[in-house]
Chain A
């Protein structure tokens, strides 16, 4: 550990940020080095702020080492779409970039972004440029800054959706870093002479850790509001936006064997009017900037800042900085955190088709040419395309007379009413994990589909095939697919071995609990089968699986709040 300019001890990462000259580092020189497909270790950290992760194809790691080739370095690129909406024209550009520079697929993420995988260093700049030319950006989709702001994508039940979407966009833009580095490095914009970079909110070392904001419009919690550092629950009154309940301190990540890390759901701390939202968010980010842990990145998220200082302290500090307290929170009710599939009519009279995209991976496979299908739909240039927080896609704002065309395309490509899409599958999420994620211990996206095939047999045998059980898997405990909020949750421990968690609520307001550790596939099926059999026999009317396992004491949630967990 080292100390920073003010003498406090900080981690190595803090120095890299401080020395980076507002996120420039030596990225430009690194991009030009033709001898390696990688950037220097420090630049690899900096390039995250620009929206890209340096990765390598982990499937080929051993093989290439033997071949005296460096790892197959490649870059993941995350494209932000505030609230997850893109125009058909933008979609077509992204679709083509995936073919031209990426691995031919697109990943719709759990935070309503696009990800490209497999971009070679030499193509990174061209890709980022093309994305910006279509009026999208990758800036601050990663790194120690506020990320893409999530927003409920379902406008059909709420008149306030448009307004909320605008607020999400506003916050998303407002909290973007102000450095010119991005524009100089990727977009060839000239250095502005004499104009020093200035980050009025973030300062030279940015935040201690990533920061996530989301908006939810009850009764839909389809963006998992409580998993965010800062969440806004929309409060409507007579079809008008009244304001927001403010929630703080959510986060999914933990580290095995480190009890000072844990998933935590956000606390609801009060209510604000719409015109207060920017100022409140900015103040909260400011508190995290000043009090977040800069020595240990594992304890640097807002959830730990709050647990270390105490929630009352946090509420007081917020009131102190704003010179006024928050108003008391208003009642709200969330029904589900899943998506509703198929056609739904919006309040504007247009139609919205929610399409299941297994684990968000948009690609073509034999008999199921999803990528081509969406490309064909985008080529019609009608409506828009929306990403959900559950890795799915909404074909939005379709006039009634165009519905047939959409259906025909989906049908022609084997996408419509695919019989494999059982209720369990439709309620599944998996993170990327292997072969690109450098942190994965086990498979996730590439494995969960086949596990679901096997679980579906059990469900069918027990008449549960229509039951919407929320099932989630991640390849490590970082929880990118919010596995801690699955009624059935899996977290990878090693290749082929998973911890099994049970009992999250169906609407995202209760975490699941560890049931069994280090299970192989056979052991997973063995462990789940009797529980599912009994659930089929003994469930109450409308009782969700997550609630059932609690009622039956199959698991018990000993956590009251996160507070007690940090000694």
Chain B
């Protein structure tokens, strides 16, 4: 078992706090601990440097205007919606109104009839799909069993990413289906891009004004949304105010003649006060390359010297295009705006057909758009078409307990050829080609409460990752090594070629030798005629894998969402079905159970 006291002493606690916590925590079972951890990670958002006011969230006060609590249901995959739900509950309660908060996964659908007011905060994942924990409610509402909801007033906040064609699809669907079932909107749905803070605030204030007529915009200070915990003296670094971290090491981990380029970066977080945990991601801001800016300026007959007003103030066009906007990939929002601006019938036709949009956007960038549909416009008009420069997320590949003031990430460089041009990813080409050791990189920590090691270090972990999907497991194993965690661990790793693409190979071999890692299975798809992937290795080891699950193992999958995660999910169910001797339905239930108990977690992209 974990030694709580030594663990706590490492934390930011006074001796008295350690003593009190140590009296309480060891007595709890793992379920209680798990719950508390989730609860605290939500609550910590509110605290910044104020003392935790735990009681407020758990016991609704009776000051509500009509006695009915406001319900908040969230559907999340990486924790953003959960975080916003927690903040919302607090803001509602601060107005003296009772709030009830639940994730969609554990929400009982028969409650729906009793709810008067409902806030839904939900993100979109996969290719326009609901997060796993939201899928049951989503399907129920869309099924013939769905009840009439005439009594219900609701409002939807949709989280998403304009880089995806099916922008905020899940939120839109919830919004639409509730209306169809007879419910009334409190206020209009708001669709948020990855920088959701401002949109959230706007949405929330709209809700609060409707729920509590006494509410006046701005009379409650906006709660900090980022979970960043900072020391008193330090400035707060978050998505809006990223930290300038120095690159202390940059290595392409792929051996010579590899078909891939994968950059391992070590960044210095000294004096940032930034804290992270294994499973969290690092947000990284990139700037555009002249390779892409120049031909665009030329095509539009701009010099780059034109002054423009941006959301970041007055700048020259060149500056703005370099650091404040994105030129690749092309987003549906840009496409829409451009179609409107130009009145192009060709674009209009495309926009009428969802699959045509997807097809059109794939592999295109802004340059393709202005080349294909030429249009003369002022610099500021051009800028208004563009997506704001948004950070890219990278799963953190280090444990802060092991690397102190550093943070490590692993980025696979995107390069491809499309529409007659060689193209590169916005952020990864920046990391690969425009940043070097000793340069600074703008970063922030993006916590992910839904991809975490089991609190109980005795629990076995099964970690499945292909490509850069292996990154968080390096953090996991560093952490378990420092903890001297007795629990078994099993890594499944896959890439193309053994010789060149086995990320962190020497470290895994060392961990195996020391016993920090119990076993490892690898699949290199291109080393033999027949393609072999991680899910094949899982199936080969099905018996042992099921045994680990039965022993309480936590199962993780990280990496490609399009294909790998689905294949792994299927293999997992197949193993449970065969090894557990159950029907497919029972196997699905088993997996569902793993999910709701947080023993099956995914960090996929």
A interface with B by C-beta (< 8 Å) = 34-37, 60, 63-70, 72, 120, 122
Contacts and interface: CB of A to CB of B under 8 A. Distances in A.
A142 to B, nearest CB: 24
Contacts, number: 49
Q: Is the interface of A mostly helix, strand, loop or mixed?
A: loop
Contact of A37 (B253, B499, B512): B499
Give 4 closest A-B pairs by Cβ, nearest first. Answer: A68-B506, A68-B504, A67-B253, A69-B505
Residue from B253, B505, B524 whose CB has the most chain A CB atoms within 10 Å: B505
B255 A68 contact: no
A63 B503 CA distance: 14
Contacts of A67: 251-255
A34 B498 CA distance: 8
Contacts of B521: 34
A37 B499 CA distance: 8
B502 interface: yes
A159 B178 CA distance: 102
Contacts of A63: 255-256
B360 interface: no
Nearest to B528: A122
A101 to B, nearest CB: 12
B264 A64 contact: no
B522 A35 contact: yes
Interface string B523-566: 01001100000000000000000000000000000000000000
Given A35-B512, A68-B504, A68-B507, A122 B498 contact: yes
B212 to A, nearest CB: 56
B508 interface: yes
A95 B524 CA distance: 27
Interface residues on chain B, size class? 20 to 34
A35 B255 CA distance: 16
Contacts of B507: 68
Contacts of B146: none
A426 B562 CA distance: 61
19 contacts: A34-B524, A35-B508, A35-B520, A37-B498, A37-B499, A60-B256, A63-B255, A63-B256, A64-B255, A65-B506, A67-B252, A67-B254, A68-B251, A68-B253, A69-B253, A69-B505, A70-B505, A120-B498, A122-B527
A232 B33 CA distance: 82
A72 B497 CA distance: 13
Residue from B498, B503, B520 whose CB has the most chain A CB atoms within 10 Å: B498
Contact of B251 (A36, A66, A72, A120): A66
B255 A60 contact: yes
B506 A69 contact: yes
A328 to B, nearest CB: 59
B52 interface: no
B398 to A, nearest CB: 13
Nearest to B501: A69
B475 to A, nearest CB: 15
B508 A69 contact: no
A85 to B, nearest CB: 34
Nearest to B527: A122
B502 to A, nearest CB: 6
Contacts of B254: 67
Contacts of B503: 68
B258 to A, nearest CB: 10
A70 B504 CA distance: 9
Given A63-B255, A67-B252, A68-B253, 20 more contacts: A34-B521, A34-B524, A35-B505, A37-B499, A60-B255, A60-B256, A63-B256, A64-B255, A65-B506, A67-B253, A67-B254, A67-B255, A68-B251, A68-B503, A68-B505, A68-B507, A69-B505, A70-B509, A72-B499, A120-B499
A36 B512 CA distance: 12
Nearest to A60: B256
A35 B256 contact: no
B256 A36 contact: no
Contacts of A34: 498, 521-522, 524
A388 B380 CA distance: 78
Contacts of A64: 255
A9 B512 CA distance: 35
A35 B509 contact: yes
